[in-house]
A and B are shown apart, each in its own frame.
Chain A
């Protein structure tokens, strides 16, 4: 009975995803590209060699970390659109700590740097949480606005105080920080590729989030506050407090993603380092049903999409930005599938329509229909 329901829900979601794919196909047709060719490139191109696979995973690491944080916040009833800014704050803090303490041995410095990133992201997210808990400021507005503020702070610091002195000397003026000390650079997992040990960190984080949400009383409280704020309040759970806690976690994971990006991939703070992971992470979390077990494959899938979109730019001459269209349509598909599953009348109407499609002759041959 329960299995049937899961299967039915799964079918509906797949059905809506197919409709989404068709919609994107229309967009592709309208710019004169071949949808089949494009989909083929996006989905199979990145996985055709080892390098492609490692690049997919490089993208999946920040997506996974951000997605985990988003899942915690959504589960707790607060919607975090601010991961983009939280990533940037994480990058700044981790870079600053690493550059300020270059002489420290790796065993102290690396954890310190990662923690600094997480802490900065947590504080940035916590602002929105606190505003919501204390002053009922809508967190969607505040997190989006905090993104802009973070972006400006980030740009200012990279062009001013944190600008690499070499850039000034050479006069090229590329807005980037100094290279981080070797002590904090993450090791490579596969020689000759960019895949770094951040992947292991992210996977461990996924397990920890699962334990946090479903095995501890803190997770129980946060989920209760999110799934039924009123009932939680009646049961003596101070819901507002857990909104802040959830945003601290969400921002913390985004900040950690920033720290891992800078220590694992770029090795210095550069402009555009967050590259949309903060927004894509929302899609990853929703597509993964806000559960770590779903978010891991979901992050990998979106890694494929990101790399695949780059490839189509080269091979099928479809702009890589098409992946944003794809993301948007996927969100629409998921959200509409969910509300469809909640609406028995719509389901009934679809069923009728589907029955209408089957020719009467065919139906009578089947016979068993009541």
Chain B
């Protein structure tokens, strides 16, 4: 198979329908995208976006409907067929082998480089240079994947897909793992590439959709509910169409009423997985009844900070005072019992046991309490009752509380975690990326839950890379950079630009300088 460079001028889907046992994943979907055009495909989790893309790539075959490229009907049986017609996909989770170089990763998928007994790595490198120059996507073919930042890996995926001959790119939530700076950079680059390509951009971040796409199609419950020109519609309008109701993300109305200090972190030093000092004398104070946002480019110590607070990572030196008691290097159990709640970063593996039922996950921290067990036998009736009650209160959408939690959507899993943590009545709550990859409806719910708890006097540390989220919810915003808190500013003084500059590690000068793009790191220099 040789990479087809015949330009793809149009991809058309007509009446695509796909049924799975008990679910109508795609319901009579018709779409088209032309060269030089960016089509945004928007929808909540489970709306059928991924299934539809898998149909285009030949992983699934539709029950009915047709696909045509340049007016000619096609039947793809595998992704290779789609590539042969110039259609390629960049998956949300990168498909790269970490201990291979960029060129080797490309060679994996490009059969023309495989000669008898010889693999043409130089040819791969040449191809990568050619493509990366042509599309202004700087990539070093000899770099190992594990050395690259997430943003650079994203570029490698793009270059790889282009090298394989794709001229219609399907990008599945390409910004979900990127920092705000990397996101801006990617969108800028994609904008420059559109003249030669067609792009299907899957996302539920509406500001990105607005910035990049020409047209937008909204999927809900497997059907297209809206088609239109992006320029003519406001994000709020699109959000309402996406969720089926008006969405207004709640905001912290900030009465300025802050309680007594609850958690005081002093000189905290913590080592990372590679043994280097990731937190270097970090200081922070959380008061009762406030939301303290911790903003920063991911990888500046957020993960280690959260781990240390939860007792999951040894503290090298420094103190974590919680109500006057030093919790540094205490066991997770002791910290939980002291009244700390925790919404971990990776909800699928850290927040829940995926194969456990919803009701079992709801007692993950309290199974040993007198409420749920007697003489070390579980009280099933009480566990059921508790689950039913929390399911109602936290609007967890699941067939029953006996359903395996891992089979729920991300938003509902997060609600299960939040229900467990809040129902325990904590004094402080650490929430790490609480709405990452979650649809708007669930996001709205989670935000209002956090603000309600704040009003009840709970102190909340919100670690997030979504500036919108941090600015909407926080009373104060601490910017973390290279394991230190660079500055703490009241939320009312924070702007996107000012935070962006601080997050890049640049000294803050009030008033904030313009233009905002000063915060963008030079391309390719995101990795130190």
A residues adjacent to B (C-beta < 8 A)? 1-2, 4, 8, 215-218, 220-221, 223-224, 227-228, 230-238, 345, 348, 352, 370
Contacts and interface: CB of A to CB of B under 8 A. Distances in A.
Nearest to B347: A231
7 contacts: A8-B21, A228-B354, A231-B364, A232-B364, A235-B332, A235-B336, A236-B336
Instruction: Name, among A4, A216, A220, A236, the residue most crowded by chain B CB atoms within 10 Å (CB to CB).
Output: A236
A2 B352 CA distance: 21
Contact of A234 (B332, B360, B376): B332
Interface string B466-479: 00000000000000
Contacts of A231: 349-353, 364
B331 interface: yes
Given A4-B21, A231-B350, A236 B333 contact: yes
Contacts, number: 82
Interface stretch (B59-67, B254-262, B483-491, B493-501): B59-67
B352 A228 contact: yes
Contacts of B21: 4, 8
A308 to B, nearest CB: 35
Interface string B324-367: 00000001110111000010101001111111100010001101
Contacts of B333: 236-238
Contacts of A230: 346, 349-350
A223 B332 CA distance: 19
B17 A370 contact: yes
Contacts of A235: 332, 336, 364-365
Counting from the closest, the 8 A-B pairs by CB-CB distance are: A228-B353, A236-B333, A235-B364, A236-B332, A227-B355, A236-B336, A230-B349, A235-B365
A370 B19 contact: yes
Given A227-B355, A235-B365, A236-B335, 18 more contacts: A4-B21, A8-B21, A215-B377, A216-B377, A223-B356, A224-B364, A228-B352, A228-B355, A230-B349, A231-B349, A232-B364, A234-B310, A234-B332, A234-B344, A236-B331, A238-B331, A348-B59, A370-B19
A230 B19 CA distance: 35
B399 interface: yes
Nearest to A228: B353
A81 B360 CA distance: 29
Contact of A220 (B337, B352, B378): B378
B373 interface: yes
A218 B378 CA distance: 9
B364 A370 contact: no
B402 to A, nearest CB: 8
A236 B356 CA distance: 17
Contacts of A232: 353, 364
Given A227-B354, A228-B352, A370 B63 contact: yes
B22 interface: yes
Nearest to A232: B353
Interface of A is mostly: helix
A228 B349 CA distance: 7
Contact of B376 (A1, A218, A238): A218
Nearest to B19: A370
Contacts of B310: 234
A238 B64 CA distance: 52
Contacts of A4: 21-22
Given A1-B22, A8-B21, A236 B365 contact: yes
B353 A224 contact: yes
Contact of A217 (B331, B337, B373): B373
Contacts of A220: 360, 367, 378
B513 interface: no
Contact of B332 (A216, A228, A233): A233
A221 B333 CA distance: 13
B352 A345 contact: no
B518 interface: no
A216 B376 contact: yes
A8 B352 CA distance: 26
Contacts of B367: 217, 220-221
Interface string B12-25: 00000101011000
B266 to A, nearest CB: 24
Given A8-B21, A370-B64, A217 B355 contact: no
B368 interface: yes
B312 interface: yes
Contact of B378 (A2, A217, A233, A352): A217
B377 to A, nearest CB: 6
Nearest to B77: A352
B19 A228 contact: no
Interface in B370-393: 373, 376-378, 380
A41 to B, nearest CB: 40
B312 A233 contact: yes
A363 B342 CA distance: 55
A217 B377 contact: yes
A217 B367 CA distance: 7
Nearest to B333: A236
A183 B168 CA distance: 81
Contacts of B360: 220
A227 B333 CA distance: 19
Contacts of B377: 215-217
Interface string B410-434: 0000000000000000000000000
Contacts of B376: 216-218
B91 to A, nearest CB: 13
A75 to B, nearest CB: 10
B378 A234 contact: no
Nearest to A236: B333
Contacts of B337: 236
A37 B352 CA distance: 51
B399 A1 contact: yes
Interface string B34-47: 00000000000000
Contacts of A234: 310, 312, 332, 342, 344, 350-351
B334 to A, nearest CB: 8
Instruction: Name, among A2, A224, A238, the residue most crowded by chain B CB atoms within 10 Å (CB to CB).
Output: A224
A217 B61 CA distance: 46
A220 B351 CA distance: 16
Contacts of B368: 217
Contacts of B64: 370
A245 to B, nearest CB: 13
Contacts of B353: 224, 227-228, 231-232
B60 A224 contact: no
A230 B352 CA distance: 9
B344 to A, nearest CB: 6
